[in-house]
Structure 1
Amino acid sequence: MASWATKRKLTYFSIVLIAIIIFLGLPTFFVVYQPPSCTDGKINQGELGTDCGGPCSRLCNSQFFQPIVLWARSAKVVKGVYNVVAYVENNNLDGAAKQVPYRFKLYDSEGVLIRERTGRVDIPPHKGVAVFEDSVLAGESIPTRVTFEFIGQPQWYRTASVDQGLVISDKLLENESSTPRLSAMVENKSALPIGKTSFVAILYGDDTNAISFSKTELDGLANGASSAIVFTWPQPFSKKVYRIDIIPTVKLK
């Protein structure tokens, strides 16, 4: 049977051993342990998939609709030079995608590919987006068909709309028979400033088909502020203009 002195030594030894374990173990625990996050490659913290859904801003595949390409067209600027535009609809109420790669293809009446043009575009939540490319060179060919497609799978994330306070008014088209000029006023009626914004003007004929388009940009607009925007063309349109749409797209942060 151990003596009282031996028991006391064992008690002291146990206390010292526990202190050493705590002293060495706690730092190791805090170094090794990583709290759940939206970038840890695991399904945790209420996520619906790996690092998506739940508290994460990135949306899982089951949480969003693919954008719908409604139409794509070209319009002659001068001989051999064309602007192209595609109208894309995003039906996700709070889903957006940044810098999504895309490709336009222009074909002639024989189905021969004339030119390709690639680029990237932000797709804000729950709105239509006009994807625009200018000065596409066609040479002696005449484009009669345009296709548009997204390249790869967009990465969708949850965000609120940033352009709900933008109001466009006072649209005025002048000089239709010579060098057309379209002007309008843009006002930011939201409580927050708006960052860099592109505006695509789409002009329609009496058959509701787009006959021409152009693009301009604003670096930003303070809340309560307004600014004029202007679009120009070097030659008259092929048809009379019956309707004008100006579509803003605020650059996503």
Structure 2
Amino acid sequence: MSVWATKRKFIISSSIFIPLIVVAVFLYITGREKPSCFDGLINQDERGVDCGGSCVAVCQNEAEDVAILWTRFLPVIDDVYSVVTLIENSNKSFEAKNVPYSFKLFDEEGVLIYERKGSAFFPAGSTFPIFEHALRTGERVPSRAVFSLRNTPFWEQREFEKIPIQIVSKNLDQENTPKLTAVIKNNSLKNLSQISFIAMLFDADGNLVNASKTVLSTLGREASDTIVFTWPEDFKNTVVRTEIVPVEYTAN
């Protein structure tokens, strides 16, 4: 076979296989799944599997445990009680949604007499209450309340953001059945809805006297409204300080 014939055969073969190789490489590169925060791998700038770095999800070893500062049960009427706990989330840039929790009431012998399960939003860098009402214990009298988390919070990166709701004024009327009235204002340029407020009342020694919760359905941007908390019976201790905390809302 002549040299030219050999070269010609090589040129023809190259003209066929080189484009095929180029196409194969292109298909391999474009067909690969791009790195993401949901691919089950540690890639990009992640510090764990699909967490840390540019991912919204926070790696569990990067988050501090929340602190349960105190938990109280409060008599409402007859065999009905409320429970409230105060939580501190020291993670300045981490929040968690729908964190499952449990309130348990025990009698003086340590026997569980009631359990209430729920879920709550844990805002970044905040101290906030969680409240449950209408716990009926029948003939059994609670002696102790315990709050616990049922699962580890799924933390997401979010800078601390002050809730844009101002408590303009408050007035506690104890002449008949106790009633706490407050004027609140939305300081944001967004419409807010399903705004939950928890009121806590304290005596001169800083002890919790009672608590309650109310929900305002809507509050327009830069608008004001009035919220009311009521209790069916007089308090045993004199209230000298009131706190109203907006704990959850939706911005539209």
* TM-score (normalised: structure 2): 0.91
* Superposed displacement of residue 2, structure 1: 4.1
Aligned equivalent of 1:117: 116
User: Match of 1:27, SS?
Assistant: helix
User: Match of 2:219, SS?
Assistant: coil
Note closer, same or farther for the CA distance 1:218–1:15 as it changes in structure 2 (3 Å cut): farther
Aligned equivalent of 1:240: 238
Aligned equivalent of 2:209: 211
Gaps of 5+ in 2: none
Say yes or no: does 1:22 pair with 2:22: yes
Give deviations 1:191-250, integer Å, cap 9, x for gaps.
444453211101112221111111011234343222211111122222221111111112
Q: Percent identity?
A: 39
Q: Which deviates more from structure 2 when the two are superposed, residues 136-145 or residues 3-12?
A: 3-12
Aligned equivalent of 1:8: 8
Gaps of 5+ in 1: none
Query: How many residue pairs were aligned?
Result: 251
Give deviations 1:35-86, integer Å, cap 9, x for gaps.
2111122222121222111111111233221111011111111100111111
Q: Considering only aligned residues, what root-mean-square deviation do their CA atoms show, in Å?
A: 2.1
- In structure 2, how many angstroms separate the alpha carbons of the residues matched to 1:252 and 1:122? 12
Contact preservation (8 Å) 1:106, 1:143? yes
- In structure 2, how many angstroms separate the alpha carbons of the residues matched to 1:41 and 1:2? 58
User: Match of 2:27, SS?
Assistant: helix
* Superposed displacement of residue 12, structure 1: 2.5
Q: Which deviates more from structure 2 when the two are superposed, residues 81-90 or residues 206-215?
A: 206-215
Contact preservation (8 Å) 2:192, 2:250? no
1:164-175 mapped onto 2 (5 Å cutoff): 164-174=163-173
- In structure 1, how many angstroms separate the alpha carbons of the residues matched to 2:121 and 2:76? 25
Q: Which letter does structure 1 place at the counterpart of 2:79?
A: G
Note closer, same or farther for the CA distance 1:3–1:252 as it changes in structure 2 (3 Å cut): farther
Q: Which letter does structure 1 place at the counterpart of 2:13?
A: F
